[in-house]
Chains A and B, each alone.
Chain A
Amino acid sequence: MIRFNDVNKWFGANHVLKDINLHIQPGEAVVICGPSGSGKSTLIRCINQLEPIQKGEIFVDNIQVNKRATNLTRLRSQIGFVFQQFNLYPHLSVLENVVLSPIKVKKIARREAEENARELLERVGIPDKADDYPSQLSGGQCQRVAIARGLAMNPKVMLFDEPTSALDPEMIKEVLDVMVELAVEGMTMIVVTHEMGFAREVAHRVFFMDEGQIVESNAPDAFFDHPAHERTKAFLSKIITHN
């Protein structure tokens, strides 16, 4: 579903992604963790070309994304992206946030888009908030709207960039529950997170990134219980004592 071949990216002289190779199967849920600045966000932002890459190839569903000829609008309409800071549109109601792209990008009729949006809001547990504005919602509710907004495009892949790290602790679970459900239903997803409970529960693989490289990748139990690399061990001991 997603394939990286020797992907390299620089921000100016800063080499941020170094020879990244990975292959993610349809229906797979992958968690990426690693220290701040290791390139986790950059890696997933390259998948929908929010960031261009300078070397290598990225394929989504067998379509090479880092080519001029690629229809980015079409590509992006197949990839849901959930941001750490939600990035909901503050001037639009919750319902309008969810239907905007289906109507404008996918050209779905408004009626149908709204019906679908209400179903999705139901699914993420906030059917009664459709007419509220983002500023009237809690962080957890905002993030669930953002997930609904992603799902409304009927994407093949969902990408999450630290979806719970801007949330108060008591709201983390309500967002994770929605994500667990998605994973269980077989959504292909890549999640940058340090929520190790989530990783153990639903991830098929966990990647550890450091200094622009994927240092280690393994099934979650093996990853947490028997990390192979020193850097992984050091990182895990830090976040575990911290939790």
Chain B
Amino acid sequence: MLSHFNFRVILQYLPLFLKGLWATSWISAISIFFALLLGVLACSMRLSSTGFLKKTAGVYIESMRATPLLAQLYFFYFGLPTLHINLNEIQTGILALSLNSGAYIAEIVRAGIVSIPDGQTEAGTAYGLTYLQRMRYIILPQALGVTIPALLGQFIVLVKDSSLVSLISVLELTRAGQLMASERFMPTEGFFTVAAFYLVIYFVLKYLSTLWQNRLIYREP
């Protein structure tokens, strides 16, 4: 199959692909950052004993997980301007990706937190730490450690999902492929190249998560 590839055109479009790769990377990176913040926050709310916080977090998590990302994206893209909230396409994309992924991360982190033995919470409580201090210094460092593989999976989903923002005409990796496919009628070459670049991002993420895990790793008692 490769022998039939028109590498000359791929090369010609390389600057466009690199631009797309760059856009996909930073849009994903920012979204991952916000998704993590949101996820940890929503998860803390869901595990708190205050009914209102618990419910709010529950509604957020369920509604994000129960509806398609594409619908959410369109909802923000068309809905927010009618509320006089004007975000550009990229901001809208980051908003949708962060909110969507945050809900999944909340559940991943929750699974990590409940896997930490009660004795840890008890020790922290007995030694005067507040709820937030226990989370910050005792529970989360351990919970994040055990959830890194699942978080990595979610980050990869986010990167792949970021291809949806091409539908609100953000120039990122998938959009670059679409352009090449439609301008030169070469969908195979176009999307093959797109896939190859996603694979590159995947390996970078995987490498980073290994570094992260090695930093957090400790031997079990």
> Given A83-B119, A87-B120, does the pair A135, B219 have CB atoms closer than 8 Å?
yes
Q: What A residues does B127 contact at CB under 8 A?
A: 76-77, 81, 100-101, 105, 149, 153
Contact A91 B119 (CB under 8 A): no
Contact B218 A91 (CB under 8 A): yes
Q: Which of B127, B145, B218 neighbours the largest number of chain A CB atoms within 10 Å of its CB?
A: B127
Which residue of the partner chain, among B145, B216, B219, contacts A136 with CB atoms under 8 Å?
A: B219
Q: How many angstroms between the C-alpha atoms of A142 and B119 in the bound complex?
A: 14
Q: How many angstroms between the C-alpha atoms of A91 and B142 in the bound complex?
A: 7
> Given A50-B126, A85-B119, does the pair A100, B219 have CB atoms closer than 8 Å?
no
Q: How many angstroms between the C-alpha atoms of A74 and B127 in the bound complex?
A: 10
CB of A48 within 8 Å of the partner chain: yes
How many chain-B residues does the 8 Å CB contact rule pick out? 22
Which residue of the partner chain, among B122, B129, B130, B221, contacts A90 with CB atoms under 8 Å?
A: B221
CB of B149 within 8 Å of the partner chain: no
Q: How many angstroms between the C-alpha atoms of A73 and B130 in the bound complex?
A: 7
Identify whether the interface residues of B are mostly helix, strand, loop, or mixed. helix
Map CB proximity to A onto B99-131 as digits: 1 under 8 Å, 0 otherwise: 000000000000000000101101101111110
Q: How far is the CB of B123 from chain A (nearest CB, A)?
A: 4
Q: Which of A88, A91, A105, A136 neighbours the largest number of chain B CB atoms within 10 Å of its CB?
A: A91
CB of A111 within 8 Å of the partner chain: no
Contact A100 B137 (CB under 8 A): yes
CB of B133 within 8 Å of the partner chain: yes
CB of B141 within 8 Å of the partner chain: yes
Which residue of the partner chain, among B117, B130, B221, contacts A135 with CB atoms under 8 Å?
A: B221
Contact B122 A87 (CB under 8 A): yes
Contact B128 A87 (CB under 8 A): no
Q: How many angstroms between the C-alpha atoms of A73 and B129 in the bound complex?
A: 7
> Given A88-B221, A91-B145, A133-B218, does the pair A76, B125 have CB atoms closer than 8 Å?
yes
Map CB proximity to B onto A104-137 as digits: 1 under 8 Å, 0 otherwise: 1110000000000000000000000000011110
Q: How far is the CB of A148 from chain B (nearest CB, A)?
A: 12
Contact B128 A89 (CB under 8 A): no
Name the residue of chain B whose CB is nearest to the CB of A139: B221
Q: How far is the CB of A140 from chain B (nearest CB, A)?
A: 14
Q: How far is the CB of B80 from chain A (nearest CB, A)?
A: 41
On A, residues with C-beta under 8 Å from B are: 48, 50, 72-74, 76-77, 79, 81, 83, 85, 87-91, 100-101, 104-106, 133-136, 142, 149, 153
With A77-B128, A90-B221 known, 7 other A-B pairs at CB within 8 A are A76-B126, A76-B127, A87-B122, A101-B127, A104-B137, A105-B128, A135-B218
